[in-house]
Structure 1
Amino acid sequence: MPAPLSAAAPAFEIVKGEREVLVLSEAAVEANLDLADLLDGLQEGFAGLERGEVQSPHRPEITVPEAGFSLAMSAWQPGMQICTKIVNVFEANLDIGLPNHLAMINLFDPATGATTCVMDGTYITGIRTAASAVLSARLLSNPASTVATIIGAGVQAREHLRLLPLVRDLDRINICSLDPEHAARLAETHPLASAHDDIESAVRESDIVCLATHSSTPVIDASWLSPGTHISSVGYYPPEGELPPAVARQHRLFVETPDAFLPAPVGCSELTGLDPASGTALGAVVIGTAEGRTDDTEITVYKAMGIGMEDLVAANLVYRSAVASGATPTFAW
């Protein structure tokens, strides 16, 4: 019987050769990422997660004792490039003028697995984390919210400040920090913002409270939250964290996925010991299989851990915009 005909050469004769890979700097990434599109894209991404369309596996961690840690995060959804990010968190970088979070993202063609793009992931890591929290405010806060408080004065606080006015018509945004000078300098960057020295009074008057710190202990007291407040938390500092455990246990809790209840580095320290059934996935609210806010007095809580889907959405938006604009440079891979 004759062997089946095949147009393909034998594997040993095939070499990759040179392929052009798009390279995008941090500045190019920021220039190609529209923030309104990011919020809408993340909303669709959460819906895709809930419908089972997105693969976003658990992230492994490498720890460098007394220095920092490295996380690998990947995700894919049909219609998008495969996305893999490495993010390194080294706190001492701030002492030498480097961000304490540094990241690199690679995109791959889902038809062949070939590399299509290498982009800086530092900006994306900051903006997509804040955007998921601000999206939770769009979905869960009282639509009549007028006052927000951001606790923190770092990268996450900066990005929250940029994004919050896109989802609510706010009168003012309080900035609170353990470093009053940093709070004042951040507040100067936005016309709605003002530094606030008294964290308790700022929280008590707020409709939306955003925790955006790198604190190993709670930064507010659960009793400060007024009826109807929406609170979000993006800080990651095992084995404790910035969100008081009572907040997540006493009020309606929303998460990215049920993985939030797993031990760190996958899940959130503040949710340790909680039944995963106590949390509602944000995507379930988006597609209407779960209820969001039920009345004007309910306190809603969103605890973020950061997942690969968020990088996938942001990086694909950047890539599409850059390709459409004819962006260069490239390198031969």
Structure 2
Amino acid sequence: MKTLLLTKQEVGSLISMKEVIGAVGEAYKAFSSGQVVQPDYIGIHLPSPRGEIDFKLGYYKANEVISMKASSGGFIDNPTAHGVPNGMGTILLFDARSCALTCVMDGSLITNLRTGASGAVSVQVLARKNSKKITTIGTGNQARMQIRAITEVMKIEEIHAWSRNPDALARYKMDIESEFGIPVIVANSKKEAVEQADILITTTRGKGSLVEADWVKPGTHIIAIGTDQQGKQELDPAIFKNAKIVNDSISQCTEKGETWHPLNEKIITKDDIHGEIGEILLGTKPGRENDEEITIFDSTGMAIQDNTTSEKIYRNALENNIGTFFAFI
């Protein structure tokens, strides 16, 4: 038996954003319908100035694939000290019927793609249909990926952006306007940016509230991406009090997502969580029900998203005869 090896360049050529959005939607439905075995992920924090490495494992009964992803981040000295990026990822795919290793692929691009796609999936069921303005708090790679994904499912007329780093903000404006032709308005403050939002995206490594409750107008859909472990925070917990709260995984979001903060401060209880996005996609829970609701999608990221996305890439590779086969034995 041979194993397929796929490089980052090959991975990028083998899937479109539309396909990723479809794969992520499938992942959410599978998770919320009991077709997934997904243990808690394991993280190792290494001494400063190094960062962290996480391991996510998932089994999807429908495709009989077990995926394991190792992803690192925060290694700020890597480019100069070691000649590698400050964050990397690798995905292994196993045939669940035999546990044979079928594929090894670069996982750094997949993480960005499937995280971006998660926002687009949430927009389809939770954003107002007449949404025209996006605000991004944070202007890094994931802010860009969210725009790439959302423009696949909705026409956006303008983007408002805020970042602590003026240079990063200027690059973001130039990049987005060049790629999409959508005007980017640089905000003078977080408040100014948030007040404009029909769709608000937070993609920072925040350690405290960046968005205050009284800045958020009725009808806003919030995509909370940055908080995936305790200690991180982007939203004022008071926002949750009168919002429709949707999680990717209730168990994860209540332990280490943005949803943990209002629970910890007793602003909400678990009964106030509307449900998981997979339940909405399956039709067992309603999505947006009126144009005045504030909706929050708290996304902590799940192994099943890596599973369905990487399995699609693997199938595309086989169909197009792309990649390099090798044998361990």
1:48 aligns with 2:43: no
1:247 aligns with 2:231: no
String of CA shifts for 1:271-312, please: whole Å, max 9, x gaps.
552533322100111111111111001100011111101111
The number of residue pairs the alignment matches comes to: 314
Once residues 30 and 271 of structure 1 are traced to their aligned partners in structure 2, the CA distance between those partners, rounded to angstroms, is 38
Counterpart contact for 2:263–2:270, Cα < 8 Å: no
User: Cα distance, 1:267 vs. partner?
Assistant: 8.2
Once residues 94 and 193 of structure 1 are traced to their aligned partners in structure 2, the CA distance between those partners, rounded to angstroms, is 34
1:212 aligns with 2:206: no
Q: Secondary structure of 1:40's partner? A: helix
Letter in structure 2 aligned against 1:72: F
1:176 aligns with 2:167: no
1:87-166 → structure 2 map (5 Å cutoff): 87-93=71-77, 96=80, 98-166=84-152
- Which residue matches 2:68? 84
Letter in structure 1 aligned against 2:182: L
- Which residue matches 2:290? 295
1:37 aligns with 2:22: no
- Which residue matches 1:330? 325
Q: Any unmatched runs of 5+ in structure 2?
A: none
Counterpart contact for 1:147–1:205, Cα < 8 Å: yes
Q: Secondary structure of 1:70's partner? A: strand
Within the candidate set 217, 221, 226, 1:226 is matched to 217
Once residues 131 and 202 of structure 1 are traced to their aligned partners in structure 2, the CA distance between those partners, rounded to angstroms, is 23
User: Cα distance, 1:263 vs. partner?
Assistant: 3.1
- Which residue matches 2:270? 276
Once residues 131 and 169 of structure 1 are traced to their aligned partners in structure 2, the CA distance between those partners, rounded to angstroms, is 15
Once residues 174 and 80 of structure 1 are traced to their aligned partners in structure 2, the CA distance between those partners, rounded to angstroms, is 43
Select the structure of larger CA radius of gyration: 1
User: Cα distance, 1:98 vs. partner?
Assistant: 4.6
Counterpart contact for 2:79–2:85, Cα < 8 Å: no
Once residues 157 and 132 of structure 1 are traced to their aligned partners in structure 2, the CA distance between those partners, rounded to angstroms, is 12
1:61 aligns with 2:43: yes
Which range moved further: 312-321 or 271-280?
271-280
String of CA shifts for 1:116-160, please: whole Å, max 9, x gaps.
110011111112112112211121000111111111111111211
Once residues 94 and 225 of structure 1 are traced to their aligned partners in structure 2, the CA distance between those partners, rounded to angstroms, is 38
Counterpart contact for 2:253–2:298, Cα < 8 Å: no
1:194 aligns with 2:184: yes
Q: Secondary structure of 1:166's partner? A: coil
1:312 aligns with 2:303: no
Supply the RMSD in Å over aligned alpha carbons: 1.9
Counterpart contact for 1:150–1:174, Cα < 8 Å: yes
Once residues 13 and 187 of structure 2 are traced to their aligned partners in structure 1, the CA distance between those partners, rounded to angstroms, is 34
Instruction: From the superposition, tell whether residues 233 and 301 of structure 1 become closer, same or farther in structure 2 (CA, over 3 Å).
Output: same
Q: Any unmatched runs of 5+ in structure 1?
A: 1-18
- Which residue matches 2:53? 70
More strand by share: 2
